[in-house]
Amino acid sequence: MPTAYQRSESGWGNGIGYLLNAVWLTQTHGVACIPVSAFYRHATDHGVVRFCFAKKQETLDQAVAKLRAV
């Protein structure tokens, strides 16, 4: 993961780090996710991302393989 996208000891701040990680993961590995903060009016940063599991098992298996390689 590029240094610009990595978490620092001070955390992600306002959640932009999780947004950047989601973009990086999608662009470089083809696995899409979104920060959970996107579901809150004030972008509450819970430090987690959300993946969609409404996919065929084959698609999920491919995503798992890609994530393990990160």
CA angle 27, 29, 31 (to 5 degrees): 85
Structural domain boundaries, residue 27: 3-68
Total domain count, the chain? 1
Tens digit of each residue's pLDDT (9 = 90 or more) over 33-61: 888 877 888 767 677 788 888 889 999 99
Residue 63, pLDDT score:
92
Residues contacting residue 37 through CB under 8 Å, at least 6 positions apart: 15, 18, 19, 43, 44, 45, 46
51 in Cβ contact with 33 (< 8 Å): yes
Tokens 């973009």 belong to residue: 23
Which amino acid type is present at position 24? W
Q: What count of Cα atoms within 13 Å lies in the side-chain half-sphere of residue 34?
A: 8
Of 11 and 28, the structure prediction assigns the larger pLDDT to 28
pTM reported for the whole predicted model? 0.62
Arithmetic mean of pLDDT over the chain: 76
Residue 10, pLDDT score:
46
Residue 61, pLDDT score:
94
